[in-house]
Amino acid sequence: MVTIKDVAREAGVSAATVSRVWNDSDLVGPETRERVAAVAARLGYSPNGAARSLRTKGTRTVGVLLPDLHGEFFSEVTRGIDQTARRRGFHLLVSSSHSDQQEANAALRSMRGRVDGLIIMSPDGDAQRAIARLPATFPVVLLNCGVGVGRDSLTIANYDGARSMVGHLARLGHRRIAMIAGPERNHDSDERLRGYRDALQEVGVEPVPELQVRGDFREGSGYEGVSRLLAGRVCPTAIFAANDCMAIGAMSALGDLGLDVPTDVAVAGFDDIPLARFMSPSLSSVHVNIAQLGERATQRLLDAIANESASDPLHEELKTHLVLRRSCGAQGTGAARDPELQPRSQGNAP
């Protein structure tokens, strides 16, 4: 059994330093912290053998760590996870990190010895740091974090969805298409912004920095984003928001300014949350089967828990399709291509 002294010796530090790393002490520098975490992960060390005991005790509980618990997207993901887990006799222990590394570490510490596996959504890129202290054999599935190094992962076809929606707006005749993007260093946000820029270049339009503003995926930042866009020298005729919450905020701001959607400015979002179809006008969006994202992550995790044997990490990407409604000038509601969401599975084999 690997002990704290084994980790200390291998990392070239004292046992006290290893303990401080595990307790997130400010007395340890980032370079030392990373080195100790890497050694601990390689040796399969966890304090008090917690990670091993939770496999042998069988808690019948799944840990879920999300960036936030606010909003329809996260509630739909959680619903998919919960329904799938309950069908197989498991319950959930849910926490949020608020995209803060220390909060993520604290949440994971609170789950030690209490869960049989983890589902982690950390699109801000800190997922690998969050799980660095877990043994490589402990079941973990990453959501919307890109391709997980050495871990199972699921993502949304962010790039394809954004590119398709912006391409649709361009086919409607729009050339001054603005984007309210998500935060920087966020996987979903980065991929959707990349899809937006590539779609514009494909129709011969050079992306204009003035027509690209950042938000935080909440309604308020979509509302504020409209003010910043309309204050510039180039006024957009269409706005693509990186998620529906910001698109709804943008529609509200346009209405308060006396502008009509879609006559004056077309608006489209991403995710197709349940509220999108009930907006006035109804919101065009890139449809994501959000509950299915949670469902597939849970299926993969529970299979890993049941098998208890190492297997090649699997990456799945869930396809998206357009749902065109009145906010972008479409008549009625319909899906543009890909009516069925089929995941692409990619193993690690060459």
Instruction: pLDDT band for 167, please (50, 70, 90 cuts).
Output: very high
> pLDDT higher for 29 or 128?
29
Residue reference for tokens 């943008």: 250
3-state secondary structure of 160: helix
Q: Domain map of the chain by residue range?
A: 1-45, 158-288+320-346
In this structure, of 43-57, 191-205, 304-318, the range with the lowest mean pLDDT score is 43-57
Element (H, E) at 16: helix 15-22
Average pLDDT score over residue span 265-289:
96
Q: Which is nearest to 327 in space by CA: 272, 276, 263, 262?
A: 262
Instruction: pLDDT band for 47, please (50, 70, 90 cuts).
Output: low
Q: Percent of the chain, pLDDT > 70?
A: 84
Average pLDDT score over residue span 15-25:
78
In this structure, of 122-126, 132-136, 185-189, the range with the lowest mean pLDDT score is 122-126
Please name every residue paired with 152 in a beta bridge, in sequence order, or none if there are none. 141
Q: Which two structure tokens, joined as six digits, stand for 204?
A: 């011969």
Q: Percent of the chain, pLDDT > 90?
A: 57
> pLDDT for 174-190, tens place per residue?
999 999 999 998 889 99
Q: Does domain 1-45 have CATH number 1.10.3090.10?
A: no
CATH architecture assigned to 158-288+320-346: 3-Layer(aba) Sandwich (3.40)
Instruction: pLDDT band for 50, please (50, 70, 90 cuts).
Output: very low
- pTM for the complete prediction? 0.77
Please determine, for residue 64, whether its predicted confidence score (pLDDT) is greater than 60: yes
Beta-carbon contacts of 175 under 8 Å, excluding residues fewer than 6 positions away, are: 203, 205, 237
Average pLDDT score over residue span 70-85:
93
Q: Do 1-45 and 158-288+320-346 agree at the fold level?
A: no
Residue reference for tokens 């973990």: 140
Average pLDDT score over residue span 321-339:
68
> pLDDT for 305-316, tens place per residue?
888 655 677 889
Beta-carbon contacts of 64 under 8 Å, excluding residues fewer than 6 positions away, are: 78, 81, 92, 93, 94, 95, 118, 119, 120
Query: What one-character DSSP code corresponds to residue 283?
Result: P
Please determine, for residue 93, whether its predicted confidence score (pLDDT) is greater than 60: yes
- Please return the burial class of 271, using the count of CB atoms within 10 Å of its CB with bins 0-12, 13-18 and 19+: buried
3-state secondary structure of 317: strand
